[in-house]
């Protein structure tokens, strides 16, 4: 009723009308036994006209924007509190990566494969070779496997020259190997021994230890020339 009187242009003072409308609203709210005051109180515009409640659409828009903003903020804060390992799991990082300190990951070393550099453990003259093919038809080689390699570094007066393609037997691998008795063996570096077409070593001496698993591959000559059998 007050709003209707104001719209008709009555001579009432807008400030008094505003105070009376707000007081009547508070009295009406206190009079309700259910305590439902969901309606917005009347407000006064710039020209002194009393409006019956605020614009609900604008209020709902503001509330919706605030809820969306708070939801995005909470999701970002929860992601920020996530540990580096959990973040990597959610981002699709492989499970073979292990966490060792804040934001530092160590990749687990794989088997001997294409382009892998290996040391030469004999006195054939070659010092370092690079794998170009695994003979058994697999993508990775392990202890006892035969590979084709290219000589990358060699002695000047050795039996093989730099750039020559040679056949090698893997005698040491930098990956853990589980043995039949339950123990594990692992070497510091990958190493090979150069052999001829008959599978016999080219050199006359083999430096460093070699595993006894070579006996099952019928590589007894390599075990005989080795300094130590592990």
Mean pLDDT of 83-102: 43
What angle (nearest 5°) sits at the alpha carbon of residue 55, between those of residues 49 and 60?
A: 165
CB 130 within 8 A of CB 115: yes
Q: Give pLDDT, residue 65.
A: 61
Q: What is the dihedral of CA 189, 133, 122, 179, to 10 degrees?
A: 50
Distance CA 28, CA 52 (A): 14
More confident residue, 85 or 64: 64
pLDDT of residue 170 exceeding 80: yes
Q: Give pLDDT, residue 230.
A: 85
pLDDT of residue 226 exceeding 60: yes
Percentage of the chain with pLDDT > 90?
37
Q: Give pLDDT, residue 205.
A: 94
CB 42 within 8 A of CB 51: yes
CB 21 within 8 A of CB 4: no
For the question of whether the overall pTM of this predicted structure is more than 0.75, the answer is no
pLDDT tens sequence across 31-67 = 444 444 444 445 444 444 445 444 555 555 656 666 6
Q: Give pLDDT, residue 61.
A: 60
Q: Give pLDDT, residue 194.
A: 97
User: Which of 74-88, 115-129, 190-204 has the lowest average pLDDT?
Assistant: 74-88
CB 172 within 8 A of CB 143: yes
Three-class DSSP category at 162: coil
Q: Give pLDDT, residue 165.
A: 96
Strands (E) located in 26-178:
43-44, 50-51, 97-99, 105-107, 117-120, 126-134, 146-154, 165-172, 177-178
CB 149 within 8 A of CB 132: yes
Classify domain 112-229 by CATH architecture. Beta Barrel (2.40)
Q: How does residue 74 score in pLDDT terms, banded at 50, 70 and 90?
A: low
pLDDT tens sequence across 20-37 = 444 444 444 444 444 444
Average pLDDT over the chain, rounded to whole? 71
Domain boundaries, the chain: 112-229
pLDDT tens sequence across 3-21 = 443 444 444 444 444 444 4
Q: How does residue 76 score in pLDDT terms, banded at 50, 70 and 90?
A: low
pLDDT of residue 142 exceeding 80: yes
Both tokens of residue 216?
């099952």
Q: How does residue 202 score in pLDDT terms, banded at 50, 70 and 90?
A: very high
More confident residue, 109 or 74: 74
Q: Give pLDDT, residue 143.
A: 92
Q: Which residues lie below 8 Å from residue 154, measured CB to CB, with a gap of 6+?
A: 125, 126, 127, 160, 161, 162, 164
């Amino acid at each position: 009723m007050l709003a209707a009187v104001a719209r008709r242009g009555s001579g009432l003072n807008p400030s008094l009308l505003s105070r009376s409308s707000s007081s009547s609203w508070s009295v009406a709210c206190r009079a309700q036994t259910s305590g439902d005051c969901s309606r917005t109180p009347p407000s006064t515009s710039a020209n002194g006209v009393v409006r019956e409640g605020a614009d609900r659409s604008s209020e709902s828009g503001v509330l919706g924007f605030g809820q969306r903003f708070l939801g995005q903020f909470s999701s970002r804060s929860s992601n920020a509190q996530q540990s580096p390992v959990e973040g990597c799991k959610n981002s699709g990082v492989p499970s073979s990566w292990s966490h060792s300190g804040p934001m530092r990951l160590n990749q687990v070393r794989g088997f001997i494969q294409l382009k892998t550099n290996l040391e030469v453990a004999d006195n054939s003259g070659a010092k370092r070779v690079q794998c170009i093919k695994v003979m058994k038809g697999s993508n990775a080689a392990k202890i006892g496997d035969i590979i084709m390699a290219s000589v990358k570094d060699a002695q000047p007066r050795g039996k093989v020259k730099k750039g020559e393609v040679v056949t090698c037997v893997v005698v040491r691998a930098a990956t853990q190997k589980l043995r039949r008795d339950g123990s594990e063996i692992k070497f510091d570096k990958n190493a090979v021994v150069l052999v001829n077409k008959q599978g016999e070593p080219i050199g006359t001496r083999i430096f460093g230890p070699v595993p006894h698993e070579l006996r099952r591959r019928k590589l007894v000559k390599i075990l005989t020339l080795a300094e130590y059998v592990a």
